[in-house]
Amino acid sequence: MAETYVTTAYERLQIAHLRWRKRAQKWISRSREKVSFVLIPNDEKPFAQIEISIGMLGFLFGLSLSLVLLSFGLLVYFSFFFDRNLSLEKKTETQLVSFLFYDLLSQDLRDSVEELESTTESLNLLAWEEIPEKEMITQDYLLKEEFHKDASELDSNLLLFQQVVTTYTQFGVRLGNLVPNFQNAIDYLSMRESIFYSMPRGRPLRPGVGVVTSTFGYRSDPFGILPVGEYHSGIDFAAGEGTPIYATGPGIIAVDTAVGGLGKSVRINHENGFFTLYGHCSLILVNPGDRVKRGDKIALVGQTGKATGAHVHYEVRTGLDAPLDPEEYINLD
């Protein structure tokens, strides 16, 4: 009986490897063969000739087929299987509308800030006369920021959020620089207003009541005692006895003391060192320590003390200085 030869697994693998290698070499050899494409116009003369290997042609065909299948698959997916996130789309649209709204508001805010800057400059010029606003306060410690934006980028809605945030940040910096100057001018004007309203202003009698019988300064002695005359430290308003006398400014009633023959008199201490005197009263209606406002009734016209008739002697003074001409303060009204 003849012996049979049985191949081993290793030998079978070698045989299979050689077969596939031979086939591969065959396919490689065939793929290197070239195919020519000739473009022939109507005059039947070759215009161009393109040579491409069969392997490259197969690769391009496979790539084209893959792209077509992928496109078809995506079309089917998005047409029948894709689940749109409607809530996300609605939220995105809402945010876009919101940013557009704030972008419109930023335009109005820009106009308001520019108007406020102009008003603040005018306010500082009013408070500090010819000192320009930029010299009022050093800006070294204030917030400063520079922003650089590409104008072409603002055409895209995708950057609308960045535009709105940048705009509002710019206004924040401008307002931050503006507030100290504005507040400084307001404080100064408020102080001036406080000084003005604390000063004595106007007449001690109602408008149209009484007449001026003696002005401030040197005059002849109404009693004829002093031939060279005398210095009159106030203004006399003649009126019927019992006519109400009113405070010309806010202050505190001082201790009642008769000064220089003024008879029954009232002294009001005002802020900033001012005080006023109301002399020759027939009746005092306030007590020392009372706080009065401008226009409060404090006494009645009389002729107590050294007087030739019913009138109120009105003086304006500051501290221990010489008396001031009341006419200047009467005309403040």
> Does 225 share its domain with 284?
yes
Q: Is there a domain that residue 50 lies in?
A: yes
> Does 226 share its domain with 322?
yes
Single-letter code of the amino acid located at 204: P
CATH number at 268 reads 2.70.70.10
Closest CA relative to residue 313, chosen from 292, 299, 294: 299
What are the structure tokens assigned to 34, written together? 């070239």
> Does 322 share its domain with 218?
yes
Q: Is there a domain that residue 205 lies in?
A: no
> Does 112 share its domain with 188?
yes
Q: Is there a domain that residue 104 lies in?
A: yes
Q: What angle do CA 22, 23, 29 make, to 5 degrees?
A: 90
* The pLDDT of residue 17: 80
What are the structure tokens assigned to 71, written together? 């496109």
How far apart CA 194 and CA 226 sit, in angstroms, is: 43
Single-letter code of the amino acid located at 112: S
How far apart CA 208 and CA 201 sit, in angstroms, is: 16
* The pLDDT of residue 44: 63
Structure letter (DSSP) for residue 90: H
Q: Is there a domain that residue 170 lies in?
A: yes
* The pLDDT of residue 137: 39
166 burial (CB, 10 Å; 0-12 / 13-18 / 19+) is: middle
Mapping DSSP to helix (H, G, I), strand (E, B) and coil, where does residue 115 land? Answer: helix
Q: Is there a domain that residue 282 lies in?
A: yes
Q: Is there a domain that residue 176 lies in?
A: yes
Write out the E strands in the chain.
34-39, 48-53, 211-214, 217-219, 230-232, 235-238, 244-246, 251-253, 264-269, 274-284, 291-292, 297-301, 311-318
> Which of the listed residues 86, 114, 137 is the one where a domain comes to its end?
86
> Which of the listed residues 26, 61, 86 is the one where a domain comes to its end?
86
Total domains in the fold of the chain:
3
pTM over 0.95: no
How far apart CA 275 and CA 259 sit, in angstroms, is: 14
> The domain containing residue 109 runs over which residues?
96-198
> Does 215 share its domain with 321?
yes
* The pLDDT of residue 147: 42
Q: Is there a domain that residue 158 lies in?
A: yes
* The pLDDT of residue 279: 92
Cβ neighbors of 70 (< 8 A, separation 6 or more) are none
Closest CA relative to residue 157, chosen from 109, 110, 93: 93
Per-residue pLDDT of the chain (333 residues; tens, 9 = 90+): 556 666 777 777 888 888 888 887 777 777 677 767 666 766 666 566 777 777 777 888 889 999 999 999 888 887 777 766 667 667 767 766 777 777 777 777 777 777 777 777 777 676 666 544 444 433 433 344 444 444 444 455 556 667 777 777 777 777 777 777 777 777 777 777 778 888 898 999 998 898 998 888 877 766 556 555 678 889 999 999 999 999 999 999 997 655 668 889 999 999 888 899 999 999 999 999 999 999 999 999 999 988 888 999 999 998 888 888 998 888 876
> Does 45 share its domain with 127?
no
How far apart CA 54 and CA 75 sit, in angstroms, is: 31
> Does 293 share its domain with 312?
yes
Q: Is there a domain that residue 264 lies in?
A: yes
> Does 100 share its domain with 79?
no
